[in-house]
Structure 1
C-alpha cells in the first residue's frame, strides 16, 4: 500500500473489507464515494496470483483507474466499447499471456462468447463488481447486463465475488445478495456520510445568474454543473464562457469523439467547468472536482447522492448546490406517471420523489435528513446551509390556512401562479374572468411577495399538506393531512417567509492549499503545481495521476531534501518516487 499507492493508513472500513476479500470470502460493501472502494480490490489483486476481473458500467472510470494503476507500475487494462481494435487485441494478448493483474470490463462485454473459459485459463481469482446497485431492480440505475455476472462466475469456476456500491438501501442490498451471490456474503456498511461536502439547497429564481455567481466565488476550481437538457447545457456553458470561465458542454447530442475530447479536456484540466446532463460524470475519477451544482431537481435521493459524490473524491472540502422549483417536481411526477413501469415501480418512484422534496425543504440539518433516508442517525453536522444559518421555525398554521383556502375556494383546479395572484389580490384578466376577485381569500396574503408565497407552497408540499395529481394538469389539491390544518385540527411549523434560503454557501470551501500560511510555502506550491502539469502534459495524463493536491501541499510544507524523505510523504509510492522524485526535489531545492 505504501510502496505502490503511497498510502500510509487505511480509511475507515477498508481494513475489515480487505481482510474478508483476502480470505477469499464473498463480500458486499457499501462505502461512500471517496472512501477508497477501489483499493479494496486493487490491493488483493496485487497480492494474489492470477487475475482480478473488475466489472463496471463506467467507461470513464475504468479508463482513469487503469491509467492511474499503470502510472503506479501495475499491469492493468480494460475492454470497453470505446476501445479501438488495436487496443482490444493488445488486451486480449496480455490476458492470454497471463500478464494482467486487473482486467476492467464493461457489463455488455460479459456476453462475449468463450469469455468464461478465457478468464479461467488466465487464472481468475476474484470478480470485483463496481456500482453493484446496478444489479438490483430496486436500485436507481438497474442494468440488465449485470445479471450475467453470477452466470459468468459459475462458468469460470466460482471465484469469490466482491461487490461495492455507495448507494444501496436495505431492500437493494437484499436484492443484490440474492442475484449476485451463490451464498450469503459478508456484508459491510461503512456509512453514507461524506463529511467533506458542504450541502446546500436553494429555490431556483434566476437559475443561470445564481450559478454564475456561485462559480465566480470559486475561481480556478474544477466543477460540474448538471443541467436538465441539452439546450440548457449549451446555454449555461455559453453564459460562463462569456464571463471568462473555461466551461464546456457535454450531452448525448454531441458526436462520440467530441464527447470524449471534452471529457479528456475536463479530466486533464485543473480548473474547467463541465455543464452536462447526468450522463456525464458517471465514474469520472477526477479527484479534484471542488463543486457540483444541480441546476434542477435530480431524479432521486440516490441519484443526487451519487452525483454530488463526484466532488471532493480526494477527501478535501468541496461544495454542492441544488437549485429546484415546484415545476421540477411536477415534471418528474408526470414522467413517472407516463412511464411504462408497472404500478409497484411507479409507486416506489413517487415515494422516492417525495423523499427528495422533503430533503430540499428540510427544516433541520441537511446532512441529518440525507443520512436518515439511508437509515443512519447523526447529530447536526455544522457543515451545511441549514447549520451555517439555521432558520427559526414559526407557527405557520395561519399562512398554511390562507394558502389552502385559496386552493379550496378556487375549486382545486388551478396552478400556483393563479393561486398566488388570488392571495396577493392581483388584478389580472384570469382572476376577473373566474370571479375570484370576489372570494373571501382574495388579497388576504398581500403582505407577502410572489417569491415568499412560492416558499410557503414549497414547504406545504414537502410537508405533505398539498399535492398535485399525477394525472392532472398542474392544479393543486389539499391532502387529508392538509385538511386537518385547514380546519384547525392540527398545526404546522414553517420557516418564516423572510427566511428564504440564500442561493449558495456564502464562502467557498477551503482547498488543500489553505494549509500553506507563508508566501514562501505558497510560491513553492505554485512551482510544484507547474511541474506537475508539465509532466502530466508530456505523458498525456491528468495532473492528479502524477501527484494529488494533498501530496504537493505536504511537499511544500515538509520540503524533503532526499528521496528517502520524499518517500514518506502521502501519495508518493516507489514507482512515482523513481519516476518523478528527482524533478520535484530539484524544484524544492531551488526554492530553499
Structure 2
C-alpha cells in the first residue's frame, strides 16, 4: 500500500470485509469522497451506511452523522468500533464526564465518525466545535440519515431537521450526503428544497426488495390469522407487528404472550425507560416480537427481522413500504403480512377529516390512502403496484400472494347495484348488518318492525350468503361508493360515485377469497436454511458462540457478525486465517479479534 490515502475498495475490504460494492454504492462513495453533495434514495438493507462511512474514512478529519434516534446510535457506533473504526456518539444518554471525553476526542481530531442528534448539532456549543474543525481542516463531511424526517407529509417528521439548512451556509465547502430508504417524488423534492440540496447529485436505487414476500388477507378474526401466520412461518423468529392504537398494541402483545410467543408492546404512551428496555431487548435477543405503533421502527438496524405484520391499514404506500422494509435487512427471505378490512379505510379517512391539517394536506393524505387501497384490492402483482408508486416499472415478481396464488374474480356489478338500491330504499339510515338481512329476505324482528320486509329490495339477494354480502359492502365503502355516518351508528349512505354504477355505466369486479393453502413443502424461511445440504450444526455453534460473546459484552449479536457471515463460514469451513479473511463481513480487525476462536469451532465440527 502506498502512502497515498486508502482507496474506497481497500477500505471496503479491510475494514468492512467486503470485496465489491453493490449497485450505486461505489459511484456514491467516490462522488462524496471527492467533495460532492449527494441525495441518496436506497431501500432498507441496500447498504446506505457504507455510502457515508467509506468516504468518511477516505477524507481527512471527522465525519458528522446526523441521526434522529439516540437509542440506536450506540449500536451503530459499536458496529463501527468492532470493525476498528474510531467512532463515537454524542447525545443526552451520556453523563457529563463521558460527553466531555467525546468532545475532547472531537476537538483533537481523533474521531473518524461522530453520530449526533439534530438537536445537539444545532446547539451553539457544538457549532463552535464544528467551526474549530472547519478552521483546522478536520471536518470531513456531513451525513444526514433518515432525511425524510424533513418532510412535513410523513409521520416521521422532525421539526429540528428543518434547521439543518444552516449547514451549507456555515460550512459551504464541506460535502453533505442525505440518505433515506423511502421517498416518493414529492418527498424527494421537499428533502432537496428544505436541506438546500437542489444542486446535489441524486442517486435513486431500485426500490425493489425481492427477498420480501408480500401477503395481504381480508380480516377474519385478525388476531387468530396473525397467530396462525407466525406459527406456520416464523414460530421462533424475530418480527414486528404494527397496530394503529396504543390499546390494540398492548392487547395484541398480551394475547400473543398468552399463546406462547415472546412479544413486547411499544408505543409513545409507555414510560421512556420501558420503551428503551423493550427496544434494547428486541435488538439484542433472538426471536422476540415487537408489537408497536409507528412510533417504533425508524432506523432499526436489526438485520434478522423475518416478518413485519400489519393488523391495521398503514396511512400510505410510503408508510407501508418503509415499515415492511424493516424485514429481511440481511438479504434473506422475509415476509410482509397484512390483514385489512374496509373499516380500516373508514377509520383512516375519518382521522384525515378530523385532523388539524390544511385542506391541501387532507387532499394529499386522501390521495395517498386511495393509492394504498388500490394496492390491497389489487388482483395482479403486489410488487408491480408498490414499485409503480415510486415511478419504477417491474415485471410480475412471482413472490407475492397474487403471483403465487392468483385470485379469482367475480362480476359483482349486479350485487353492488342491489346493495346500493337497498341503502336508498331503507332511507340511508342503517348499517351493513341490517341491510344484509333485508337483501337476503331474513324477516327478523327489526326488519319487520321497520316495514323493510315489504320494500322492493327485500329478498332480492337471497342467492348470496352473508359473508359474500359483507365483502360487497366492504368494497363499496373502500371504493367510496358508500360513505359511513359515524354519528348514526355507522349508517351507510350513497355518494356521487355510486351514480354511474346505478345507471349501468360502470362495472364492479371483486376478488374471491383464495382457498387456504396448507400443503407447504417447507417454511418459506428457516433460520438454519443453508444451501447445498450443509449440516447446520456448525452454524448453530457459531450462533451460540456469538450470542455468548454479545451477552458478555452487552451488545447486539449482529454487531459482532451477521447471520449471513456465519452462514458463509458454515458452508466454506475455512481452515486458515487467510481463508477466513475472504469471508464476507470479516475485515482485518474482526479477523484479528475472532479468527482463532472461529477456526477452533470449525475444527471441532469437522
TM-score range, shorter chain: over 0.9
Q: Whole-Å Cα distance in 2 between the matches of residues 464 and 587 of structure 1?
A: 61
Distance 1:138 1:276, change over 3 A: closer
1:19 equivalent among 22, 25, 30? 30
Question: Is contact 1:60–1:284 with CA below 8 Å preserved after alignment?
Answer: no
SS in structure 2 at match of 1:521: coil
1:30 equivalent in structure 2: 41
Q: For 1:492-503, list aligned pairs within 5 A.
A: 492-496=508-512, 499-500=513-514
More moved, 109-118 vs 328-337: 109-118
Quote the RMSD (CA, aligned, Å).
2.3
Residue 3 of structure 2 corresponds to which residue in structure 1? none
Q: Shift in Å at residue 128 of structure 1?
A: 1.0
Report the more deviating stretch, 476-485 or 257-266.
476-485
Instruction: Specify the alignment match of 2:129 in structure 1.
Output: 118
The gaps in structure 1 that reach 5 residues or longer are none
Does residue 575 (structure 1) correspond to residue 575 (structure 2)? The answer is no
Report the Cα offset of residue 505 of structure 1.
11
Shift in alpha-carbon separation, 1:401–1:91, aligned structure 2, 3 A: same
When residues 583 and 486 of structure 1 are mapped into structure 2, their CA distance, relative to the original with a 3 A threshold, is: same
Aligned position for 2:441:
425
CA distance in 2, matches of 1:207, 1:303: 21
Say if 2:416 is the partner of 1:406: no
Q: Deviations over 1:528-579 (max 9, x none)?
A: 1111111111111111112111111111111101011001111111111111
Question: 1:195 matched to which residue of 2?
Answer: 210
Residue of structure 1 in register with 2:310 after alignment:
294
Answer yes or no: is the 8 Å Cα contact 2:346–2:477 preserved in 1: no
Deviation at 1:516, TM superposition (A): 4.3
Matched, 1:134 2:145: no
**C-alpha separation in 2, matches of 1:480 and 1:489:** 13
User: Could you tell me how far 1:196 is from its partner in structure 2?
Assistant: 0.7
Give the conservation status (yes or no) of the 8 Å contact 1:138–1:171: no
What SS does the aligned partner of 1:225 have?
strand
TM-score, with normalisation over the residues of structure 2? Answer: 0.92
Unpaired segments ≥5 residues, structure 2: 1-11
Map of 1:525 onto structure 2: 539
Number of matched pairs: 589
Partners of 1:302 and 1:404 in 2: CA distance: 33
- Bigger CA drift: 582-591 or 406-415? 406-415
Residue in structure 2 matched with residue 205 of structure 1 by the alignment: 220
Alignment correspondent of 1:265 = 281
237, 262, 271: which is aligned to 1:255? 271
Offset at 1:394?
Answer: 2.8
Cα displacement (A) at 1:292: 0.7
Other structure's SS at 1:436 match: coil
Pick aligned residue for 1:74 from 78, 82, 85: 85
Say yes or no: does 1:240 pair with 2:256.
Answer: yes
Residue aligned with 2:540, SS: helix
d(CA) in 1 for partners of 2:381, 2:483? 25
Contact 2:147 2:180 in 1 (8 A): yes
Counterparts of 2:485 and 2:518, CA distance in 1: 32
Q: Structure 1 length normalisation: TM-score?
A: 0.94
Q: 1:473: how far off? A: 6.4
Does residue 321 in structure 1 map to residue 362 in structure 2? no
Aligned pair in 2 of structure 1 residues 81, 432: CA closer, same or farther (>3 Å)?
farther
1:379 to 395, 416, 420: 395
Q: Map residues 75-474 of structure 1 onto 2, 5 A cutoff.
A: 75-122=86-133, 123-181=138-196, 183-217=198-232, 218-468=234-484, 474=490
SS in 2 for 1:292: strand
From the superposition, tell whether residues 286 and 182 of structure 1 become closer, same or farther in structure 2 (CA, over 3 Å): closer
**Residue aligning to 1:62:** 73
Native 8 Å contact 1:334 1:470 kept in 2: no
Secondary structure of the corresponding residue to residue 464 of structure 2: coil
Q: Distance in 2 between matches of 1:84 and 1:401?
A: 68
Q: Secondary structure of 2:448's match? A: helix
Seen in structure 2, the aligned counterparts of structure 1 residues 454 and 11 have a Cα distance that, compared at 3 Å, is farther
Between 20-29 and 456-465, report the one with greater CA deviation.
456-465
Equivalent of residue 515 in structure 1, options 507, 510, 530: 530
CA contact (8 A) 1:54 1:103 kept: yes
- Would you say 1:539 and 2:553 are equivalent positions? yes
Shift in alpha-carbon separation, 1:407–1:513, aligned structure 2, 3 A: same
